[in-house]
Chains A and B, each alone.
Chain A
Amino acid sequence: MSERFGYWDRILHVDLGTRRTWIESPGDDWFRKFGGGRGLIAHALLAHVPRGTDPFDPANVLVFAPGVVTGSPVPGAGRHSVGAKSPLNDAFGESESGGYWGAELKRAGWDGIIVHGAAENPTYLWIDDDRVDLRDASQLWGKLAADVEDAIRAEVGEPRARIAQCGPAGERLVRFAAIGNDLNEVAGRTGLGAVMGSKMLKAVAVHGTQPVPIADRQGLMAIAKWVSSTLDQNHRAFHEFGTGGAMQGKSLEGGLPTHNYQLGRFDDVAKVDAIAIAEQYRIDMGSCYACSVRCKKVVQVEQRAADAGVTRKGRPIGVDPEGRWRVDPRYGGPEYESLASLGPTVGVSDLVAVLKSNELCNAFGLDTISTGTTIAWAFEAWERGLLTGEDTGGIELGWGDGSTVVRLIEMIANREGFGDLLAEGSQRAAAAIGRGSDRFLTTVKGMEMAMHDPRHMERMRLSYLVAPTGGDHMGQQDFRAGGRNQFGLCLFLGYSEQQSLDLLNAVTGWGVDQPGWEMIARRGLTLARLFNMREGVRRADDRLPARFSDDLPRHKGLPRELQEELVTGYYVRQGWDAGTGLPTPETLDELGLETYEGARAAVAAALA
């Protein structure tokens, strides 16, 4: 065995059906090749999930995948990925989250968890360093996230246990259910919470005591010190506001998704941005593992003035002026994607309603982006007369009605009445009601786009067109951002390319250069593409919905020819076939992925 840094060479497999667990050690070469994250997810999906598997079938796997950087003592190293075949896009599902859970899993001595099968009864997984237990979760089923966290910590007797969970929305197979961890961090996208719910796996609780081995501790500390000593120059906005401090600018530029992407400007944006939150309802800023930036908003609202007062740190606690809701600070606060999707996209300028909507999404385990955007689709359908009170059970829908958004979130999470239709996601809901309501979908590959209009923001065009998951804003298709996600390094840290490389090498001792970094990212993307094509994704799916060919008031629509040009260029840069996007045999050779040639050849035969 060579000396090993940044990983343990231990992946935990859990079969919930047989209640069997085992350890896989793929070897040092494997970690150097894939780096964890998407590499592990794509590999596991190709290896373990038969072609055409229904995402809710026990044959699907759920993969928790930190990267080699996750858990190292440096800002930005608190990220992990989760993946499965997605019930939202019926293809490659992946989402990333921050907080402490991923680092705790690494500190427990594990590089990932692959969950097979489905339990007969509600179950949770308890990992305490080497010890792995499957425990009864019947008493937790149906409970909200904070109650689940309290109950598990009490039962295992470890107040520092970190918990990832699917929430009631995942139990009810809402197709955009999230997996939350630490109550306020979320692997939100692609419906992974529903896969977890389908397996009757309520939660994964972790406690670890082993520092991740670091190759060059002094070098890593120098990078950590750079972050803390240059906070004012590089991260002050994040530190003061989190994200969402520039929404007014985005609206001025005409690129803020408003009224289901019909408009790019929201006149009331200053009522619902991060500046308004800081002035009225923010009581603290929270952090992820080992991060000095502290960019996570914590908000609190009391329903009655008598319950308000000040926090222990002396911050005043705000009150709902209409006396409707309390917003629990344990669920953190909304960042930009949540602010925009639960605010301007549905026309809501009622800040307390936005904060309550965000809290409910975290408590029930819902992706805020798909939740807000699916409701926005319904609001537009109502505006156009395509949905009526007969469809909604008498609920009137309308732009700006924050109370209705709050009500619909609970109905979606509980699959109650009209919420049952919306729980399928906007694309399936449009297919179910017909009436031409697919004309104003904002989905790519079945997943609702994030809160960056590609007509305004050029960088998002390719992200939405070719990200393996669909309407994803994380720049997954890009080697730089995709690589950082794969290694478990937060995109918000202002590390240059060289600093990112230095950080990776300080953790692992690999001595990777920029081309080497890109090769690792390409492997993850190429395997994800191979999985998608095996499941029937084709070039025609790498396309923006019709809405985005229309002009915004300030920005031109994106014609089909332009989209095709972007897609072809991307395929060529990846070394995939310029026409179909299928990875070529030469590219598999170049990337050292020859063992996947069988999967590639099967897709090629299906295309012929």
Chain B
Amino acid sequence: MRVTLHADLRRHLRPGEAATHSAALPRGSTVADLLAQIGIPPSDTVTGALNGELAQPGDPLHDRDEVVMFSQMEGG
């Protein structure tokens, strides 16, 4: 699957890793598993899109999925 991390979530990228990159997880993994692999703690408030729709932590992931992550922000 392809994963994109936006804004301050990019601090979780490994050295040299692009904001949009490929990720591999065992069959049956969920969005929550992906967050754990990236290193985003469950206490962080993150909005995820799975193939363009709002993702829930328990949503199952598949090989060709597109996942985009945003941290929440207010004001300005």
Q: Which B residue sits closest to A340, measured CB to CB?
A: B76
State whether the Cβ of B17 lies closer than 8 Å to any Cβ in chain A: no
State whether the Cβ of A129 lies closer than 8 Å to any Cβ in chain B: no
Residues of A near B76 (CB, < 8 A) are 242-244, 335-339
User: What does the 1/0 interface line of B38-50 toward A look like (CB < 8 Å)?
Assistant: 0000000001010
Residues of B near A253 (CB, < 8 A) are 47, 54
Residues of B near A474 (CB, < 8 A) are 75
Compute how far the CA of A233 lies from the CA of B70 in the bound complex, rounded to whole angstroms: 15
Determine whether the beta carbon of B68 is less than 8 Å from that of A248: yes
Compute how far the CA of A241 lies from the CA of B8 in the bound complex, rounded to whole angstroms: 9
Interface size class of A (residues with CB under 8 A): 20 to 34
Determine whether the beta carbon of A237 is less than 8 Å from that of B71: yes
Residues of A near B53 (CB, < 8 A) are 252
Pick from B11, B54, B70: contact of A246, CB below 8 A: B70
User: What does the 1/0 interface line of B16-44 toward A look like (CB < 8 Å)?
Assistant: 00000000000000000000000000000
Residues of A near B72 (CB, < 8 A) are 246, 249-250
Compute how far the CA of A419 lies from the CA of B54 in the bound complex, rounded to whole angstroms: 39
Determine whether the beta carbon of B49 is less than 8 Å from that of A248: yes
Interface of B is mostly: mixed
Compute how far the CA of A248 lies from the CA of B66 in the bound complex, rounded to whole angstroms: 15
Determine whether the beta carbon of B47 is less than 8 Å from that of A246: yes
Q: Which B residue sits closest to A481, measured CB to CB?
A: B75
State whether the Cβ of A226 lies closer than 8 Å to any Cβ in chain B: no
- Given the known inter-chain contacts A232-B11, A252-B54, please indicate yes or no for A246 contacting B75, CB distance below 8 A: no
B6 CB → nearest A CB, Å: 6
Determine whether the beta carbon of A249 is less than 8 Å from that of B11: no
Q: Which B residue sits closest to A339, measured CB to CB?
A: B76
Compute how far the CA of A237 lies from the CA of B11 in the bound complex, rounded to whole angstroms: 9
Residues of B near A71 (CB, < 8 A) are none
Compute how far the CA of A243 lies from the CA of B53 in the bound complex, rounded to whole angstroms: 22
Determine whether the beta carbon of A248 is less than 8 Å from that of B70: yes
State whether the Cβ of A468 lies closer than 8 Å to any Cβ in chain B: no
Determine whether the beta carbon of B8 is less than 8 Å from that of A240: yes
State whether the Cβ of A236 lies closer than 8 Å to any Cβ in chain B: yes
Compute how far the CA of A492 lies from the CA of B76 in the bound complex, rounded to whole angstroms: 9
Determine whether the beta carbon of B47 is less than 8 Å from that of A249: yes
Determine whether the beta carbon of B73 is less than 8 Å from that of A237: yes
Determine whether the beta carbon of A252 is less than 8 Å from that of B47: yes
State whether the Cβ of B1 lies closer than 8 Å to any Cβ in chain A: no
Q: Which A residue sits closest to B54, measured CB to CB?
A: A252
Determine whether the beta carbon of B73 is less than 8 Å from that of A246: yes
Compute how far the CA of A275 lies from the CA of B4 in the bound complex, rounded to whole angstroms: 13
List which A228-242 residues lie within 8 A (CB) of chain B: 232-233, 236-238, 240-242
Determine whether the beta carbon of A252 is less than 8 Å from that of B75: no
State whether the Cβ of A290 lies closer than 8 Å to any Cβ in chain B: no
State whether the Cβ of A600 lies closer than 8 Å to any Cβ in chain B: no
Determine whether the beta carbon of B49 is less than 8 Å from that of A236: no
Residues of A near B71 (CB, < 8 A) are 237, 246, 249
- Given the known inter-chain contacts A237-B7, A248-B68, please indicate yes or no for A243 contacting B49, CB distance below 8 A: no
Residues of B near A241 (CB, < 8 A) are 7
A206 CB → nearest B CB, Å: 25
Compute how far the CA of A438 lies from the CA of B47 in the bound complex, rounded to whole angstroms: 34
Q: Which A residue sits closest to B52, measured CB to CB?
A: A252
- Given the known inter-chain contacts A252-B47, A473-B75, please indicate yes or no for A245 contacting B54, CB distance below 8 A: no
State whether the Cβ of A454 lies closer than 8 Å to any Cβ in chain B: no
Determine whether the beta carbon of B6 is less than 8 Å from that of A248: yes
Determine whether the beta carbon of A245 is less than 8 Å from that of B75: no
Residues of B near A240 (CB, < 8 A) are 7-8, 10
- Given the known inter-chain contacts A245-B6, A248-B49, A252-B47, please indicate yes or no for A492 contacting B11, CB distance below 8 A: no
Residues of A near B70 (CB, < 8 A) are 245-246, 248-249, 252
Determine whether the beta carbon of B8 is less than 8 Å from that of A237: yes
Residues of A near B75 (CB, < 8 A) are 243, 335-337, 473-474, 491-492
17 A/B residue pairs, CB under 8 Å, sorted by A: A232-B11, A237-B7, A240-B7, A240-B10, A243-B74, A244-B76, A246-B6, A248-B49, A249-B49, A250-B72, A252-B53, A252-B54, A336-B74, A336-B76, A338-B76, A491-B75, A492-B75
Given contacts A238-B8, A246-B70, A492-B75, 12 further A-B contacts (CB under 8 A): A240-B8, A241-B7, A242-B76, A243-B76, A245-B73, A248-B70, A252-B49, A336-B73, A336-B76, A457-B74, A473-B74, A491-B75
Give chain A's interface residues, CB within 8 Å of chain B: 232-233, 236-238, 240-246, 248-250, 252-254, 275, 335-339, 452, 457, 473-474, 491-492, 554
Which are the 8 A-B pairs with shortest beta-carbon distances? Answer: A243-B76, A335-B76, A249-B47, A237-B8, A249-B70, A336-B76, A245-B7, A237-B7
